[in-house]
Amino acid sequence: MQDKFVTETARLEENLIKMASLVDEQVTRATTALETGDWEICRGIKNKDKEIDAYDNLINTQCENILALFQPVASDLRFILSALMINNQLERCGDIAVNIAQRIKKTKDQHALITESKIVEMGKHAQLMVKDAIDSFIRKDTALAHTVLANDEIVDKLNKEAFKILVAKMQTDPASVEAGAHLIVLSRHIERLADHATNIAEDSIFYVEAEFIAHRHKLKKNGDQNE
């Protein structure tokens, strides 16, 4: 029975890593297109998302079967629970990569405004957060996970700056309203991408250290802002 459990968890981890690799590729392609203004890089992102969705269903089923058949405890149970949570976050990251690609198509001629509003910089930070969050889980590296949590504040700050810059541009240049509206939504997608990376990092810490810290850093940040 123990050998069967080891085999099944190894298959689960293998599929989770494959899914994470696909998501990382999708996010990297979307952010590269954002930086270069070359929308052709985004071609195929939507179709590739179907493969991510298939892994999402497969991993959920694997986790449910392992829980039902083996009733794991302690670190084994934390691994299964973390796999379920991270799987959900990865699927959402894949969806956001598609959303980003769609907005890039609509703003591909606004590269100067994208650069001015610091959305490129914001996208690079979020993409790195996703990569580091995935690596923190695979390597069981909680130090890297905490780095992801800290970087979330950088993305939040850039998101607020982008909003202010774009609103100001739209107020002074009516011709930029449509593009500005798309870029505000794009900025929001990137901010959500960073949030999901943060959640993956929190789940990694839970798995390795048996410490549940979900939302703690954001609650602390909000508390500091209210003082």
> Mean pLDDT over residues 100-107, rounded?
92
Token pair, residue 28, equals 């990297």
Amino acid residing at 166: L
In this predicted structure, the answer to whether residue 74 has a pLDDT above a threshold of 70 is: yes
Residue-wise pLDDT for 173-193, tens only, equals 999 999 999 999 999 999 999
Check residue 179 and give its pLDDT: 94
Domain boundaries, given as residue ranges, for the chain: 2-226
The DSSP symbol for 215 reads T
Residue-wise pLDDT for 155-168, tens only, equals 999 999 999 999 99
Computed over every residue of the chain, the mean pLDDT equals 93
**Helices 2-36 and 74-107, axial angle in degrees (round to 10):** 20
| Number of neighbours of residue 4 by Cβ within 10 angstroms | 11
* pTM beyond 0.75: yes
177 within 8 A of 115, measured Cβ to Cβ: no
Residue-wise pLDDT for 110-121, tens only, equals 988 998 999 999
122 Cβ neighbours under 8 A, 6+ residues apart: 155, 158, 159, 162, 187, 190, 191
Q: How far apart are alpha carbons 15 and 121 in whole angstroms? A: 31
Q: How far apart are alpha carbons 20 and 15 in whole angstroms? A: 9
CATH of domain 2-226: 1.20.58.220
Q: How far apart are alpha carbons 130 and 149 in whole angstroms? A: 11
Residue-wise pLDDT for 12-54, tens only, equals 999 999 999 999 999 999 999 999 888 889 888 999 999 999 9
